[in-house]
Each structure stands twice: as structure tokens, then as C-alpha cells.
Chains A and B, each alone.
Chain A
Amino acid sequence: MSQTDFDVIVIGGGPGGYVAALRAAQLKLSVAVVEAQHLGGICLNWGCIPTKALLRASEINHLLHDLPAYGFKADGVSFDFKKIVARSRAVSKQLSAGVAHLLKKAKVPVFDGHGKLDGTLANGRRKVLVSKDGAAPTTLTAQHVILATGARARVLPGLEPDGQFIWSYKEALVPETMPKSLVVIGSGAIGTEFASFYRNMGADVTLVEVAERILPVEDVEISQLARKAFEKQGIRVLTSAKIGTLQKTATGVSIPVTVNGKADTLVAERVISAVGIVGNVEKIGLEGTKIQVDRTHVVTDALCRTGEPGVYAIGDLAGAPWLAHKASHEAVMCVEAIAGRKVHPIDPTKIPGCTYCRPQIASVGYTEAKALEAGYKVRVGRFPLIANGKALAMGEPDGLIKTVFDAQTGELLGAHMIGAEVTEMIQGYVIARTGELTEAELAETIFPHPTISESMHEAVLAAYDGALHF
């Protein structure tokens, strides 16, 4: 008979859950994972990774259509959409298998089925019921249970995914054919990335946002530059939009919208609803426990503890920001605390956010407006990529690096970037912020030439004595 009692049981095998299990195994805790669908969760299977594979393809398509700018000439450039989608799926599959391998190597058993807390205790230990295909559930017990069941797309009335014309991110990742026209509702990271992908693959794309600017959580200057860049690429951007009742037609959808009092009707083959996500709080046994749920997310303290001793919630289930790296970090922190280690609660202003549209967007910490709102006196530095040699050489001159410092202490409050490769560079500022470096250490740091990252240095100098190259 296989083991059924553990130190820790993790429900959910996404970037929160599987990382929690790996860390627990490293710390010599006995641990098991319960996963209903696929290891790696949304991130590996339906989120971060497959979208990056698609975006890579659209980037290549963009370059192929920009060849003359680099002195090339090619005729009859075309693509096989099914192969592009198939490659994206293959990447996900490879990574999911990789997670299975890591868990196996760490000797972490994976229970295939739907995990659910059972409110009763067995000898003071938590009970987890694992059920699969209606068969009698298996009972597991553990001292600690980590809930990591993730989240799913929010469904708005009238925009329910129908598998045909109305898509959520899931359908948008595996289309049968390339739509000629597309409306994307919601301009957060998910909506923006799909808008970018489909536009760069050649579709007519309209990006619709209810708020007054796209990418509403980013610094306003970055939002404005993103909009400019999208519009230059031919994406139609509508903000402060009121959306009417969607009508399905024989070939697609028509959506009435009103912007600044002006009514319009958007007609497209497909619509992607990217209006946020909701936590998977149902059917995991929260009812009747002291675990509180607030607007589809489990309420936790800074150390991911819920209202029930010995039960924790991490990742998307525990609330914003809905980012895989936040889930993984919470996983490690939560498990280390269980193992008796000293841990540090996560400071949300030290979690970077990345959007992989073209141009890319990355940020950490306070926007300028949020810093002012919080009462800081700020020093702001800006450096445009057009003044950066490497960006020009790459043919990627559009972009801006912006830094926000506390004028009194020199603390790097936030950094905001738009442009080529900024998602790979933001970590430099995250390290600075986490390590509590001030402008002085950043100014003293020697950045390699020629790189786009030199702009990060210049954006620091710009906040103080002035940039050298602008």
C-alpha cells in the first residue's frame, strides 16, 4: 500500500504547488501533490509558456515582413498556422513532462485526481480527499495542507466562451484557423499579449479597454507609449469604452461600443474576453471551515496562513498579483515557514511584472503616481531607447526606461520599462530594490557596453545629475 500520510500535502500542481512540493522535499519533509489536470498548471499549459511560444512566432513574422530594413529581400513569406500552434503545444508538453520528472526525482508522489479538504481531523491531522472520475475518494492525511488550486478566466455575462466565436485565453491559444479580424476585450497583460500576437500575425485587431488607458496598472507614461506603438502597428485601441450586448452573426460577432459618447459597432470574426480572473475556491472543501474567501480569493496573512491552522493558500488562489513567480515565491516561503525556517513576507512592491507584447513592458514597484500618492517626494529619471546604441543597432529604437526614486533617501521606489528585451532586464532593478541599493550604488555599477541595459544606468543618472547620452 502506498503512503497516505505526509508532513505536507499540496493541492494543485502549478507553479505554486509543484514548487512547494520540490522545496518541501529539499527540506526533508514528506510531501505529496494532488493534481486534477496537468502538472505545471495554467502557467505551463495555458498561460505564460505557450503564449511566449506564440509570441515568438509573431515576432519572427514581424521581422520577416521587415526584412528590407535590414537589407534582405524575400518573396512569398508565409506561415502554417497549425504548425505554429502545434509548436506552442509541444513546448508546454515538454515542460509539463519536465515538472513530472522533477517531482519524480525528488520522490514526491503525485495523486491524480481532484483534491479536497475534509473538515474533520484524523488524529489531529488534516484530511484530504482525492477523487477521480466518480470513483470512491482516496483519503490522505497531513499535518499541513497547502492550497494552490489557481485561478481561471473571469466570465462576463454575454461573453461566455462558446468555443466558436467567443474565446477565453484557452481557446485563443489553440485556434483552428487564423482569424482575419479580432476584438480583444481587456488590456491587461493577457489581452495585450493576444492583441500583439494576432496583430503581428496579420489580423485586424481592436483592443477595447473600459478604463481610461490600456495596461492600467502600469505607469501612465508607459501606457501612453504602448498605445502609440500599438497604433503604429495598426492595432485599433479604444479606451474608456462602454461595451453593449454582443450579437453573434453567421461569421462572427458584432459588439456595440460607446467611446466618449460616440457609438460604434465592432464587427469581427472572433472576440477574446480577457477581463480578469477568478480564484478556484469551489469544491476544495472550504465550506464550513474558518478559511475566509473574499471575492473569489482565499484570505491569508503575510505568511500564506489561512484561518485554519495548518492550512495555507498560495498563488493565484490567494489573490493578486496573479503571477507565476509570485506563486512560486510564496510556495518557498510557506514551506520554509512550515519547516521552521525564518522567512520574510513578500513585499508586493518588489514583485516584477512583465508583458510580452511588442514592444515588451516590464516594471517593479511604485509608479510615479502611486509614489506621489503614498506621500513620497520623488526624483524621476527617463531615458529613451532611441539614444541607446544597441537598441538602434538592433533596429528597436522605440522604448523608454523610467526610474522613480525617493528624493529623501535615494530608495529606488519603482522602475518602468517599455522596449525590446526589457522583460529580461527588469531583474536588475528588482535586485536593486530587494537589496535596498540606493541611486549611489546603481550609479557606481558598471553596465556593459553595448547593451540595452545601459539605458537602465542612464535612467538612474537621469534622476540625479543627468544622463550622459541624452
Chain B
Amino acid sequence: MAIEILMPALSPTMTEGKIARWLKKEGDTVNNGDVLAEIETDKATMEVEAIEDGIFGRILVPEGTEGVAVNTPIAIMVEEGEAVPDSAAPPATSAAPAPAPAQAGAVAPASAPVAPAAALQASRPANRIVASPLARRIAAAKNVDLSTLKGTGPNGRIVKRDVEAAAAQPAAAPKPGQQANAPLPTGASRTVPHTTMRKVIARRLSESKATIPHFYVSMDVELDALMALRSQLNALSHDEGQDAFKLSVNDMLIKAAALALKQVPEVNASFTEDAMILHEDADISVAVSLDDGLITPIVRAADRKSLKQISQEAKSLVSRARAGKLKPEEFQGGTFSISNMGMFGVKEFAAIVTPPQAAILAIAAGKRQPVVSGDEIKVATVMTVTLSVDHRAVDGAMAAKWLSAFRNIVQAPLALVL
């Protein structure tokens, strides 16, 4: 029997993705476990594996197609000798979610009728916009993007009232990319289509800057003691083998940040409308630049890990991030971020908070410079770090307290090896 291969949800938040590459051709024999395709999601490239043997029958969604909704049929597998159906046979897939069963017997509280069978909506391919003809026409006239609306009609159909409600919203938050007033420069240019990652960066950071009241606190931190410790520790490493390690300054700063978060846990927080969420673990998101964007793999519970563990983990995360092979849980859900641009000689900079985190630490280059110590001038390696903070979650004094804690750890770094 022909089996539809559906666009998989590779992370809990994934709603659509791009078919980066098909690795099988139509007519190829497929064995269970073979990689069929690479899917590019908002932050990573992942592989789709075959879950049974068969013949790769037909590609329904060509390579390079973007915005393919989760659960959309993307290819058809058939059995040896079986004809490939012209289109996907609806009942052939076992993966498609079934419509929600009738909520028989459920009696809602008397006061408020409760809401919808969400699963019913999920059973529809997410890329098909179900809207009444009238809703479509009004949307076109009033420039309302139907794909951004949630329908309130039967089975989530977008109806007139939904479009009118959307059109009545003040255009306070223009969607990213909708800067109608700013004409593009008129000189020669070329148009590069956005990658999924670029779209996500644009959306998330616009949201962050638009909704989070940022403030910034900077501090100079001397690195000499930390670098001396690093040399001593690295000298302990075996030259090669499983136990070999080479600590970077960044590895040590990850741990320093994690320890500072334990000392000032108010910064290890998320602001929500109802309450402040204080996180137990210090899960440090580390910004890694890529050719076409950036990604923030997470060193989980960095406060409880040894420098060696952190170093090995970070190394693995970075290399897999650059290869686009991170799993969603490896880059989603950190509690605090570090962005280090020291290697570029940056004097100082401020980063944008990534919600739902409350703060991000921007680390600039360490530079040998004169510092006043007591009444003497000496030379030290100094870097400027800047903490960007969500003011809803953390106030200025708390941010300063955290930075002091961080500086103290870095300047007296033995705490890192305790």
C-alpha cells in the first residue's frame, strides 16, 4: 500500500520547514533507516529517515520548497511492484492525526462554555487557508493577511468578523519586513531570498526589541588570573585521547556566568504576565555565528559541570551547530545567553535579549591596558562585558549585583574549579 511521507514536526514549536535536499530519487529502493531528506527548520537542518522498506515513489514537494507545513504530504512510498498513485491517497497514512472524537458525555461547568476541539483544526493541512469568500474579499480590500488570522467560524474557518476584527486593530506593530515608508536605495542590488533562519532571527529579535524594555549595564573585568588558571589547567590535559581537553576563555566564562547566576538567581528568570519564573538550573545559551545567521546551543546546568565537561560539550555543540545538525532540544530552552565577540577585537557591544530569557551577556575582546591598582599603574588584560536586561524581570541594581558577582569570579577564578 502506498504510504505518504508527511512533513515531520522536528521540534515542539515547529510549524513549517524547508525541504533542503532530497537524498533519494524517485524509483530508488529505500531501506528502513535510510535518510530520505534533509529538512531545514528555523534553526537547524535535520534528517528524515525512512521507517519502512519500499520504493521511493514520488516527490510531492520539490527540493528547496520553503514554508512546508507540518503534516503536509511531501513524498509517497510504495511497495515493490506497486503503481504510484497520482495523488496521495487520504486514508493511506497512519501518521495523520485523526479528527477529535466527539466530546461525548463531557459536561462543562455551568457558567462558561469551554472551548474548541483543537485537534479538529490540526487535522487540516496548516498551509491551506480556510476562509469564506466574503472574508477573502474584505481581507484583500483591507490588506489583511489571512495567514495570520485565527478563524472563529465552523472548524476554524476565517469569516467576515475575524477579518474585520483584524482590520480594526491599530497597525501598531508592523510585521517584520513591512517597512512601506522606507524606499530601498535605488542603486544596483541583488535579491537574496531569506533562509528560514533569517526569517526567524528577524521575527524573534524584532519582537524582543519591540516588546522587551531593555537596559544595559557594562563593567570592565580583568582576565589575567583566569588566563593563568587556564594555562595551568590545560597543561594537565593529556595530549590526545578521550580525556584530552583544551579549555578556551569562553568555556571558563560560561561557567563563571553560571556560578554568578547561582549567586544572583533573580537574573536567571523569565517574565510572564502572571508571574516571574525563576529557573533552577543555569542553562547557558552560547551564541555561535554561522555563515547565514547564528544559533545558540545550550550548555545545560553549567553551574554543576566541570570546566572539562563544559569545554567538551561546547566544542561538540559548536561543530554540530555549524554543520546544521543540532537537535531542537540542544538549542531551545536556555535560561541565560552569552554572546562573545572577543575574537573579533570588539571593544564593547550590547546584545538583544532572547525571550523568554531575562538577560544576555555581551563579551568584548580582552586587551592589555594600564589599570590603576591602589596608587600604582599596572598592566592588565581587561575586557568590557555588557549585560542586556529585560527590565520587567530584573532591575538595575540587581543587574549590577550580578555583574559584580561575575567579575569577582573571573578575577578570582579558583571558584571555577571547585
Chain A residues within 8 Å of B, Cβ to Cβ: 7, 27-29, 143-144, 303, 309-310, 337-344, 408-411, 435-438, 440-441
A28 and B132 within 8 A (CB):
no
Beta-carbon contacts of B147-168 to A below 8 Å, as 1s and 0s?
Answer: 0000011100001100000000
Residues of B within 8 A of A310 (CB): 110-111
Q: Given contacts A342-B116, A344-B154, A440-B133, is CB(A143)–CB(B110) below 8 Å?
A: yes
Q: How extensive is the interface on chain B, given as a class?
A: 20 to 34
A441 and B106 within 8 A (CB):
no
Beta-carbon contacts of B98-110 to A below 8 Å, as 1s and 0s?
Answer: 0000111111101
Can you report 13 residue pairs joining A to B where beta carbons are below 8 Å apart? A27-B103, A29-B105, A143-B107, A144-B110, A309-B111, A310-B110, A337-B113, A339-B108, A340-B114, A344-B153, A410-B134, A436-B135, A438-B137
Docked pose: A27 CA to B103 CA in angstroms: 8
Residues of A within 8 A of B138 (CB): 409
A409 and B141 within 8 A (CB):
yes
Q: A28-B104, A411-B160, A437-B133 are in contact. List 12 more A-B contacts (CB 8 A).
A: A29-B105, A338-B110, A339-B106, A339-B108, A340-B113, A340-B114, A342-B115, A344-B152, A344-B153, A409-B137, A437-B132, A437-B134
- B128 CB → nearest A CB, Å: 17
The residue from B117, B133, B154, B159 contacting A438, defined by CB atoms under 8 A apart:
B133
- A444 CB → nearest B CB, Å: 10
- B374 CB → nearest A CB, Å: 73
Residues of A within 8 A of B114 (CB): 340
Beta-carbon contacts of B70-90 to A below 8 Å, as 1s and 0s?
Answer: 000000000000000000000
Residues of B within 8 A of A29 (CB): 105, 107
Q: Given contacts A143-B110, A436-B160, is CB(A441)–CB(B105) below 8 Å?
A: no
A408 and B141 within 8 A (CB):
yes
- B101 CB → nearest A CB, Å: 12
Q: Given contacts A340-B113, A342-B115, is CB(A436)–CB(B133) below 8 Å?
A: yes
Q: Given contacts A338-B113, A409-B134, is CB(A436)–CB(B107) below 8 Å?
A: no
Residues of B within 8 A of A28 (CB): 104-105
Q: Given contacts A143-B110, A342-B115, A411-B160, is CB(A436)–CB(B141) below 8 Å?
A: no
Residues of B within 8 A of A7 (CB): 107
A436 and B134 within 8 A (CB):
yes
A441 and B133 within 8 A (CB):
yes
In chain A, what residue has the closest Cβ to B161? Answer: A347
**Residue from the set A29, A303, A435, A441 with the largest chain B CB neighbour count within 10 Å:** A435
Residues of B within 8 A of A309 (CB): 110-111
Residues of A within 8 A of B154 (CB): 344
B107 and A338 within 8 A (CB):
yes
Docked pose: A432 CA to B182 CA in angstroms: 42
- A417 CB → nearest B CB, Å: 21
In chain B, what residue has the closest Cβ to A441? Answer: B133
Residues of A within 8 A of B134 (CB): 409-411, 436-438
Residues of B within 8 A of A27 (CB): 102-105
Q: Given contacts A409-B137, A409-B138, A409-B141, is CB(A339)–CB(B107) below 8 Å?
A: yes
Residues of B within 8 A of A409 (CB): 134, 137-138, 141
Docked pose: A309 CA to B108 CA in angstroms: 12
Docked pose: A437 CA to B132 CA in angstroms: 7
**Residue from the set A7, A143, A342, A437 with the largest chain B CB neighbour count within 10 Å:** A342
Residues of A within 8 A of B106 (CB): 339-340
Chain B residues within 8 Å of A, Cβ to Cβ: 102-108, 110-111, 113-117, 132-135, 137-138, 141, 152-154, 159-160
Residues of B within 8 A of A410 (CB): 134, 137
Docked pose: A411 CA to B108 CA in angstroms: 36
- B163 CB → nearest A CB, Å: 10
Docked pose: A31 CA to B103 CA in angstroms: 17
A337 and B137 within 8 A (CB):
no
Residues of B within 8 A of A338 (CB): 107-108, 110, 113
Docked pose: A435 CA to B159 CA in angstroms: 9
Residues of B within 8 A of A337 (CB): 108, 113
**Residue from the set B115, B132, B154 with the largest chain A CB neighbour count within 10 Å:** B132
Residues of A within 8 A of B111 (CB): 309-310
Residues of A within 8 A of B116 (CB): 342
In chain A, what residue has the closest Cβ to B164? Answer: A409
Residues of B within 8 A of A143 (CB): 107, 110
In chain A, what residue has the closest Cβ to B102? Answer: A27
Docked pose: A411 CA to B160 CA in angstroms: 10
Docked pose: A361 CA to B165 CA in angstroms: 35
Residues of A within 8 A of B159 (CB): 436
**Residue from the set A29, A339, A343, A410 with the largest chain B CB neighbour count within 10 Å:** A339
In chain A, what residue has the closest Cβ to B153? Answer: A344
Residues of B within 8 A of A411 (CB): 134, 160
Docked pose: A415 CA to B117 CA in angstroms: 34
Residues of B within 8 A of A435 (CB): 132
Docked pose: A409 CA to B138 CA in angstroms: 6
Residues of A within 8 A of B110 (CB): 143-144, 309-310, 338
- B103 CB → nearest A CB, Å: 5
In chain A, what residue has the closest Cβ to B105? Answer: A28
- B165 CB → nearest A CB, Å: 15
Residues of B within 8 A of A436 (CB): 132-135, 159-160
Residues of B within 8 A of A440 (CB): 133
In chain B, what residue has the closest Cβ to A27? Answer: B104
Docked pose: A338 CA to B116 CA in angstroms: 13
- B100 CB → nearest A CB, Å: 11
- A345 CB → nearest B CB, Å: 10
Which 6 pairs from chain A and chain B are nearest by CB? Answer: A436-B132, A310-B110, A337-B113, A436-B134, A340-B108, A342-B116
Residues of A within 8 A of B117 (CB): 341-342
**Residue from the set B105, B116, B134, B160 with the largest chain A CB neighbour count within 10 Å:** B134
Docked pose: A343 CA to B154 CA in angstroms: 8
Docked pose: A440 CA to B140 CA in angstroms: 15
- A335 CB → nearest B CB, Å: 11
Residues of B within 8 A of A408 (CB): 141
In chain B, what residue has the closest Cβ to A343? Answer: B113
Q: Given contacts A143-B110, A409-B141, is CB(A340)–CB(B133) below 8 Å?
A: no
Docked pose: A106 CA to B150 CA in angstroms: 37
Docked pose: A340 CA to B108 CA in angstroms: 5
Residues of B within 8 A of A441 (CB): 133
In chain B, what residue has the closest Cβ to A29? Answer: B107
In chain B, what residue has the closest Cβ to A124? Answer: B110
Docked pose: A344 CA to B107 CA in angstroms: 18
Docked pose: A303 CA to B112 CA in angstroms: 10
Residues of A within 8 A of B137 (CB): 409-410, 438
The residue from A144, A303, A341, A344 contacting B103, defined by CB atoms under 8 A apart:
A341
Residues of A within 8 A of B160 (CB): 411, 436
Residues of A within 8 A of B135 (CB): 436
Residues of B within 8 A of A438 (CB): 133-134, 137
Docked pose: A29 CA to B154 CA in angstroms: 23
Residues of A within 8 A of B103 (CB): 27, 339-341
